[in-house]
Chain A
């Protein structure tokens, strides 16, 4: 996969997570193990059609995987892709860890010079 393609997927991945209804759906799928448009819409204040549309978005970025069962598709969270999204955010956290260490060093040096 080229870097440009990887970047685009990351972008879509983030937009997919960016929606509160879709995040709620991921929470429900993680809690229940799996779900369909019907079971999810029963637990959310949105129509089955809207849920199906959101599931389509999550499916396209690989955050959920569908298996056809009877009339409806059954969805599960893709753990690897979810871990990937979380890891990207962790990189941002690491940037702040480095900044906070520098803030600590600077402030403590100032304090020592004032006390001395």
Chain B
């Protein structure tokens, strides 16, 4: 019985170099997770990710790069308190492992630390899930709306 670790695998039809960029660069992170990401994708770098707007009630979450070995591994810790270095016990550890496979990339993701962090971390995650679901709902509606604006004379 394993509590507190999430493991996922997904096959992506893209080179490991491309996938590595998408999982590690702050610009790309903003496309698939937070609204804003500020950090250098190099080992030891610290920064933050923001859900919502930074200066308008958004949630700012600490982010620290643990490992970055292109195009094989990218890992980071998040949710640590702002005044503490990210270590086991005060943060969640996310690790991406990339393996070339069938002309594309097998991406393996693990997130651990829930059992040390307690339930608050999982609740925080759930909150972000709702946030993500919100965008999945709104974005498909936004594009036709923008297109309709453009056709106006």
Contact = CB atoms under 8 A, between A and B. Distances in A.
A binds B: yes
Given A23-B3, A93-B8, A96-B109, 16 more contacts: A7-B123, A18-B4, A23-B1, A26-B1, A92-B111, A92-B114, A94-B129, A95-B128, A95-B132, A100-B107, A103-B22, A104-B10, A108-B12, A110-B14, A110-B18, A111-B15
B125 interface: yes
Nearest to B129: A95
A90 to B, nearest CB: 9
Interface stretch (A8-16, A40-48, A49-57, A67-75): A8-16
Contacts of B115: 14, 17-18, 23
A95 B126 contact: yes
8 contacts: A11-B118, A11-B119, A88-B119, A88-B126, A92-B111, A100-B8, A103-B22, A104-B10
A11 B116 CA distance: 12
A57 B149 CA distance: 60
B19 A107 contact: yes
Contacts of B4: 17-18, 89
Contact of B28 (A27, A106, A114): A106
B111 to A, nearest CB: 7
Interface of B: 1, 3-4, 6, 8, 10, 12-15, 18-19, 21-23, 28, 31-33, 105, 107, 109, 111, 114-116, 118-120, 122-123, 125-126, 128-129, 132-133, 136
Contacts of B126: 88, 91-92, 95
B37 to A, nearest CB: 13
A71 to B, nearest CB: 30
A111 B18 contact: yes
Given A14-B122, A15-B118, A96 B6 contact: yes
